[in-house]
Amino acid sequence: MDKPLTNSPLEPENDATSGLELGRLYADRGDFLLAIEKLKESADKLLNLKNFQDYLKAQNLLLRLYAETEQEDQINEIKEKLQDLVIKEGLELNSKTYYSLALCASYKAQDETAFDYLQKALTQALQNNSKEDMCYAISGLSIVYAGLGKYEEALKEIYNLQIFFEVLSIQEIKISTQILNGWILREMKRYDQALVVLWQAYDLVKQHKTLTGHIQVMFSLGKTYLKMGDKDMARLYLNLAYRLVDSKNMIRLAHQIEHSLDELGDPKDQNYDLIIHLEKHALIEKKLGKIDFRNQFILLDLLKLFVQNQGQVYTKEYLVENVWKQKYDPAVHDNKIYVTIKRLRKMIEPDFDKPKYIFRAKNGYFMNKSARILIDDQRGVH
């Protein structure tokens, strides 16, 4: 009689390497946080097995994902682990590890450090005669040169890569350098050329089907049109990028897009005195611009209460019970309310001495009923 089929567990080595591949797949589709979780598990297993080659692959990708999710502490932790292994195990960092470290440094504008890492990456690639590693190192150099404003040097490195691309298929580098090429041409005010290059990048993204690449192209097109002064086209592509980006995973990219949208502004902004972005803990005041309420939870809760029912007077008792969640005691709370309202006014009133939003009534406070206010629980206006 045939034995029934059973799910046999993977060998430890296969289990660890499969975790590495799974992490890569999650990263490719933009699930950075889930990719990080899988790669951390895989890295720990690979280290226990002393499979240093695959361990470095996991750490290389983790470094770049931590950079994209703005987790500086985790980057430093990996650096310390790698340094310990160099000392204790005699581990030699490979070219791609130096490349990944360079990208992390470049994102923090630590250009000299990044350049040093890339020189090491290129030296190792040449010693090992690895054309793929040479591509990564050269692409990293182009990024650092661009960040330093050395556009001609950056373009030379990008054009050098075209020779490698004739014999190698490294889609990740091909797409990223094409987008960088468009970015450089835009900064050089060669806008028409930048648009041609970026649409070529879009064709590559469609073939490779990478979500992050697609968002980066939309974002770059939007930035280019913004620099050209075409606000309508800029708004179109920046909004497309923002709708696609996952702000919980692609934190760095989401911040870049948000910054450009804030720079662009929106016609709808002119219709409101206050636009409150609850999820972002921020608001935009028509004259003052963006106001950050991060770590100002009481002030934000107080503001949310006022704007929900403009014109309604909220007594001091009601404010204490619903904002501070305490029982009202005049001796304790009257001054606290006064000071808190004063702080809120200083943040949102264009002229503190002539308030236009928060008014005092005989027995409490209220929001000016004629103030034009938009409450956005995600981002809404953009």
For the stretch 136-185, pLDDT in tens is: 999 999 999 998 899 999 999 999 998 888 888 888 888 999 999 999 99
Over 80: is that where the pLDDT of 30 sits?
yes
Residue 72 has a CB neighbour count (10 Å cut-off) of: 12
Q: Locate CATH 1.25.40 in the chain.
A: 12-93
Which helix (H) or strand (E) covers residue 373, if one does?
strand 373-376
Which carries the bigger pLDDT value, residue 197 or residue 272? 197
CATH fold of 270-376 = Arc Repressor Mutant, subunit A (1.10.10)
Q: Which are the contacts of 331, defined by CB distance < 8 A and separation ≥ 6?
A: none
pLDDT of residue 281: 82
Percent of the chain clearing pLDDT 90 (strictly above): 40
CA distances from residue 51 to 13, 58, 339, 352 in whole angstroms, order as listed: 8, 11, 60, 64
Query: Can you tell me the mean pLDDT for 105-124?
Result: 90
> pLDDT-based confidence at 11, cuts 50/70/90?
low
Q: Which two tokens stand for residue 377?
A: 């629980």
Which carries the bigger pLDDT value, residue 119 or residue 290? 119
Indicate the pTM of the whole model.
0.64
Q: Locate CATH 1.10.10.10 in the chain.
A: 270-376
Instruction: Give ∠ CA 359-362-367 in degrees, rounded to 5.
Output: 25
> pLDDT-based confidence at 342, cuts 50/70/90?
very high
Over 90: is that where the pLDDT of 343 sits?
yes
> pLDDT-based confidence at 270, cuts 50/70/90?
low
Among the listed residues 12, 6, 60, 3, the one whose alpha carbon sits nearest the alpha carbon of residue 36? 60
Q: CA-CA distance, 105 to 86, in Å (whole number)? A: 20
Contact between 219 and 238 (Cβ < 8 Å)? yes
Q: CA-CA distance, 128 to 106, in Å (whole number)? A: 25
For 282-324, what is each residue's pLDDT tens digit? 888 877 877 888 888 899 999 999 998 899 999 999 999 999 9
Q: Which long-range contacts (CB under 8 A, 24 or more apart) does 337-343 make?
A: 340/298, 340/299, 340/302, 341/302, 341/365, 343/299
Query: Can you tell me the mean pLDDT for 10-24?
Result: 75
Over 80: is that where the pLDDT of 4 sits?
no
Over 50: is that where the pLDDT of 83 sits?
yes
Over 70: is that where the pLDDT of 87 sits?
yes
Over 60: is that where the pLDDT of 2 sits?
no
Over 50: is that where the pLDDT of 6 sits?
no
pLDDT of residue 268: 55
> pLDDT-based confidence at 344, cuts 50/70/90?
very high
pLDDT of residue 379: 41
> pLDDT-based confidence at 37, cuts 50/70/90?
very high
Q: CA-CA distance, 307 to 358, in Å (whole number)? A: 10
Residue 370: what residue type? S
DSSP state letters, 2-38: PPPP--PPPPHHHHHHHHHHHHHHHHHTT-HHHHHHH
Across all residues in the chain, what is the average pLDDT? 86
Over 80: is that where the pLDDT of 382 sits?
no
Over 50: is that where the pLDDT of 8 sits?
no
Choosing among 3.90.1690, 1.10.1740, 1.25.40, 3.40.50, the CATH entry for 12-93 is 1.25.40
Which helix (H) or strand (E) covers residue 314, if one does?
strand 314-315
